[in-house]
Structure 1
């Protein structure tokens, strides 16, 4: 076959979803990897919420600043998600690796901030994203906080809990309330998004949530009834 060998290029789509802090556009970065990587393409979308989501947008609770540290990093923290239809799943949180992130997540969950929110964006084989009371990918708690990257914790499997963000603005991180859970290894997100937990029960539920794009969806995403935080 020699020089006449036919080269077959496999096209792999990696979609890095950078969700938002309060009030910003959803930014989607798509990287198309071939034998010769193509340039990164960027698109920005303004999403219009449904009538029910619009109501949430106008009444969502916000805070003036990130919460004071209230967790004990020496203790174990578990988050139990109860979803509509009686289903649910469980996550172990990583307070030692990401204390600021876990503290914010625990605070918001205990405040009921995530109650009745949805998994507003779900991309099959990639991730399920939630944590936005507006259901658009544009909402947040009114505060942001810094990234916490620990080299021991990577996006190396399905079930990784990580913070969604919109990159940096004026040198500041944009973590807020939105999070995502991976459906498989996503190493291209390492060093970009803070890993702060992992699914320990119910992974099959997470990876099989119905797909949804907030730009074009006509129905709400799967609802999170409540998130119970257990401290041990």
Structure 2
């Protein structure tokens, strides 16, 4: 739990939605089967640079050589059951790619928000990676609308070396709501 500006401890996974924060989504497939939609509230109110970076990678607004760059078509490359799922490396596909809309890296904004429960997401400032905690970095957003079922489906895919899913778990579509 965290104390914010003298407020009582915050259970970040139960935080009420902030209507000013953007909502983004991932439509996920496992193999060739649609697994569902994950909707996420970006915590722009506490991590504005991280939230904007994530949002632009969801919408395809960030462009390189005139082409949209982002999460669409990206695979979840690391899955550790009962701990986390990891995706977002659209450069190398293995967690080592490094880019942001601000260049290669930007400073962490804060560590106010803590992983107090399932469904909170973090983003690594030196890479486009996102980490969905199912049980530390900057907490960027939370999954909304009880969509943890999609996360659980990904979590239950068999994995091989480096915890890579044996079936492709892909962000087939993404954008802003």
- TM-score normalized with structure 1 length: 0.55
CA distance, structure 2, for counterparts of residue 218 and residue 161 of structure 1: 19
Within a 5 Å distance, the mapping from 1:70-219 to structure 2 comes to: 75-84=20-29, 85-86=33-34, 87-111=36-60, 112-133=69-90, 134-141=92-99, 143-151=104-112, 153-164=113-124, 174-184=125-135, 189=136, 193-201=137-145, 202-209=147-154, 210-212=157-159, 215=162, 217=164, 219=166
Q: Secondary structure at the match of 1:208?
A: helix
- 8 Å contact kept, 2:79–2:163: no
Asked which structure has the greater CA Rg, the reply is 1
Residues 144 and 176 in structure 1, CA contact (< 8 A), matched pair in contact too: yes
Q: Kindly tell me: are residues 216 and 77 of structure 1, through their superposed partners in 2, closer, same or farther at Cα, counting changes over 3 Å?
A: closer
Q: Report the alpha carbon displacement of residue 94 of structure 1 after superposing the two structures with TM.
A: 0.5
Match of 2:66 in 1: none
1:89 Cα shift? 1.4
Partner of 1:170: none
Q: Does the C-alpha gap of structure 1 residues 115 and 214 become closer, same or farther in structure 2, counting only changes over 3 Å? A: farther
CA RMSD, aligned part only? 2.3
Greater RCO between the two (CA within 8 Å, min separation 6)? 2
Structure 2 SS opposite 1:132? coil
Aligned-pair distance for 1:221? 3.4
* Residue segments in structure 1 that go unaligned for 5+ positions in a row: 1-72, 165-173
CA contact (8 A) 1:162 1:194 kept: yes
Partner of residue 42, structure 1: none
* CA displacement, residues 69-122 of structure 1 (integer Å, 9 cap, x when unaligned): xxxx98331011101222221111110100010011111222251111011101
Q: Would you identify which runs of 4 or more consecutive aligned residues in structure 1 move more than 2 Å?
A: 73-76, 211-221
The one-character-per-residue Cα deviations of 1:22-54 (angstroms, maximum 9, x if unpaired) are xxxxxxxxxxxxxxxxxxxxxxxxxxxxxxxxx
Q: 1-side partners of 2:134 and 2:105: how far apart?
A: 26
Q: Which runs of 5+ in 2 are unaligned?
A: 1-17, 61-68
TM-score normalized with structure 2 length: 0.71
Tell me if the contact between 1:121 and 1:213 (Cα under 8 Å) persists in the aligned partners.
no
